[in-house]
Amino acid sequence: MKLDYPLRVVHLEEAEAAIRDADLLLYRRRGLIAIAGRGIHSHSAKAAWWDGQLFCLEVRGLCGGRAVTLASQVARYPGRIDVYRANPGNRWRHYDRRGAVSFMRQLCGCEYGYVALLKAALLHLPVIRLLVRPALNDRAPPVMPPFCSQACVMADRLGGGVDPVPHLADRLTEPADLARSPFYQYRFTLIP
């Protein structure tokens, strides 16, 4: 699958000042999630400034909820982390960046939502897709630990006060859904 926008590659050192709390980090990789999903991204996380240092807040398979420096992730995945501005142009004036970051920080230490991911993935199977209608609202509180994109959308909806994918339940949101949301705008791709 191709990008719908021209890639703008920037060194992390040059881009740091432009990255704000709660900006979205989408990882491009040809993994199972990107292949089975609806786009090119396989993982999502949130950016956060913490004591003057830029961090990546995420819920990652085999690790669970954690906070790691963004520099360590850019070194590990050079040219694969796309930065998206959350709430471009301040269109959603009531959006609370601090609340979204606080929500993600509260997920540090949680388990990864393998069961939730499996349930979301099953809806992609042809026969199941015909028989089961996907949930479109977020009324039911989550009962299982979240997976990466579910955590990011929950942070923006519950912590930040804006649902970036309003016609899809958090537990069914994939990284590609976040990339297409008007609540996020592509800025650049990071290299060390």
- 138 domain-assigned: yes
Query: pLDDT grade, residue 34 (50/70/90)?
Result: very low
**Looking at the 3D structure of the chain, how many domains does it have?**
1
Give the global pTM. 0.89
Nearest 5°: phi and psi at 49? -90, 135
Contact (Cβ atoms closer than 8 angstroms) between residue 64 and residue 111: yes
For 103-122, how does the pLDDT look when each residue is reduced to its tens digit (9 = 90+)? 999 999 999 988 777 776 66
CATH of the domain at 61: 3.90.1720.10
Which range (1-15, 40-54, 118-132) has the least confidence? 118-132
For 118-151, how does the pLDDT look when each residue is reduced to its tens digit (9 = 90+)? 776 665 556 555 566 666 667 666 678 999 999 9
| Cα 50 to Cα 32: distance, rounded to the nearest angstrom | 32
Residue ranges making up the domain that contains 83? 9-191
Query: pLDDT grade, residue 175 (50/70/90)?
Result: very high
